[in-house]
A and B are shown apart, each in its own frame.
Chain A
Amino acid sequence: MIVKDAVCPFCGCLCDDIEVEVEDDRVVAVTNACELGTTKFMGEKRMKSPILRDGDRWKDITYDEAVQYAADMLLSAERPLLYGWSGTHGEAQCVGVHMAELVRGVIDNTSSVCHGPSILAIQEVGHPGCTLGVVKNRADLVIYWGSNPIDAHPRHLSRYTRYAEGFFLENAFRDRKVIVVDVRKTETASIADEFVRIKPGGDYAVLSALRAIVQGKTDTIPRTVAGVAREQLIRVANLCKSAKFGAVYFGLGLTMTRGKYKNIRNAIELVSELSRHTKFTISAMRGHYNVYGSNEVNTWMTGYPFGIDYSRGIAFYNPGETTAVDILARKECDAALIVGSDPAAHFPRKCLEHLADIPVVQLDPYPNATTAFCNVQIPVAVTGIDAEGTAYRMDGVPIRTRKVLSTDYPSDREVLSRMYALMREALER
Chain B
Amino acid sequence: MTFLMITGRTVNQGVTVENKTSAEYAAETSTCFMHEFDMLELGLDDGDTIRVTGPCGEVVMRASASVEVETGTVFVPYGPYANHIVAAGTRSTGMPDFKSHDVEIEPTDEEPKTVYELMEDLGGLAYDR
What does the 1/0 interface line of A283-323 toward B look like (CB < 8 Å)? 00001000000000000000000110000000000011101
**A221 at interface (Cβ–Cβ under 8 A)?**
no
* B10/A151 in contact, CB under 8 A: yes
* A367/B20 in contact, CB under 8 A: yes
**A326 at interface (Cβ–Cβ under 8 A)?**
yes
Distance, CA A51 to CA B126, complexed state (A): 13
Distance, CA A371 to CA B69, complexed state (A): 33
> Which residue of A58, A319, A357 is within 8 Å of B129 (Cβ)?
A58
* B125/A349 in contact, CB under 8 A: no
Among residues of B, the one whose C-beta sits closest to the C-beta of A53 is B125
* B83/A345 in contact, CB under 8 A: yes
What does the 1/0 interface line of B55-71 toward A look like (CB < 8 Å)? 01100000000011110
> Which residue of B67, B86, B115 is within 8 Å of A369 (Cβ)?
B115
Beyond A184-B68, A349-B85, is A152–B123 a contact (Cβ under 8 Å)?
Answer: no
Residues on the B chain within 8 Å of A39, using CB:
14-16, 18
Taking the nearest CB of chain A, how far is it from the CB of B128, in angstroms? Answer: 8
> Which residue of B90, B100, B124 is within 8 Å of A356 (Cβ)?
B124
**B110 at interface (Cβ–Cβ under 8 A)?**
no
Among residues of A, the one whose C-beta sits closest to the C-beta of B129 is A58
Residues on the B chain within 8 Å of A257, using CB:
99-100
* A307/B94 in contact, CB under 8 A: yes
A-B contacts at CB below 8 angstroms, number? 189
* B124/A112 in contact, CB under 8 A: no
> Which residue of B7, B84, B116 is within 8 Å of A349 (Cβ)?
B84
Distance, CA A127 to CA B107, complexed state (A): 47
Distance, CA A335 to CA B99, complexed state (A): 29
Interface residues of A in 338-365 (CB under 8 A from B): 342, 344-353, 355-357
* B123/A325 in contact, CB under 8 A: no
**B87 at interface (Cβ–Cβ under 8 A)?**
yes
**A185 at interface (Cβ–Cβ under 8 A)?**
yes
**A398 at interface (Cβ–Cβ under 8 A)?**
no
Distance, CA A120 to CA B127, complexed state (A): 38
* B21/A325 in contact, CB under 8 A: no
Taking the nearest CB of chain A, how far is it from the CB of B74, in angstroms? Answer: 11
* B94/A325 in contact, CB under 8 A: yes
Distance, CA A260 to CA B100, complexed state (A): 11
* B88/A329 in contact, CB under 8 A: yes
Which DSSP category, helix, strand, loop or mixed, fits chain B's interface?
A: loop
Residues on the B chain within 8 Å of A346, using CB:
78-79, 83
Beyond A36-B11, A39-B15, A368-B20, is A112–B122 a contact (Cβ under 8 Å)?
Answer: no
* A185/B20 in contact, CB under 8 A: no
Taking the nearest CB of chain B, how far is it from the CB of A18, in angstroms? Answer: 16
Among residues of A, the one whose C-beta sits closest to the C-beta of B122 is A352
Distance, CA A200 to CA B68, complexed state (A): 13
* A353/B11 in contact, CB under 8 A: no
* B129/A151 in contact, CB under 8 A: no
* B56/A342 in contact, CB under 8 A: no
Residues on the A chain within 8 Å of B100, using CB:
200-201, 256-258
Beyond A56-B125, A183-B73, A352-B122, is A256–B97 a contact (Cβ under 8 Å)?
Answer: yes
**A69 at interface (Cβ–Cβ under 8 A)?**
no
What does the 1/0 interface line of B8-49 toward A look like (CB < 8 Å)? 111100111011110000000100000000000000000000
* B19/A45 in contact, CB under 8 A: yes
**A117 at interface (Cβ–Cβ under 8 A)?**
yes
Give the 9 A-B residue pairs with the shortest CB-CB distance, closest first.
Answer: A356-B123, A372-B124, A323-B94, A320-B92, A372-B119, A329-B88, A112-B94, A350-B88, A348-B88
Q: Which residue numbers of A lie inside 8 Å of B, CB to CB?
A: 10-11, 35-36, 39-40, 43, 45, 51, 53, 56, 58, 108, 112-113, 116-117, 120, 148, 150-152, 154, 183-186, 197, 200-201, 252-253, 255-258, 260-261, 287, 306-307, 319-321, 323-326, 328-329, 342, 344-353, 355-357, 366-369, 371-373, 377
- 18 A-B pairs, CB-CB below 8 angstroms? A39-B16, A113-B98, A116-B95, A200-B4, A252-B98, A260-B91, A320-B91, A320-B94, A323-B93, A324-B94, A344-B80, A346-B78, A347-B88, A349-B56, A349-B84, A351-B88, A356-B122, A368-B20
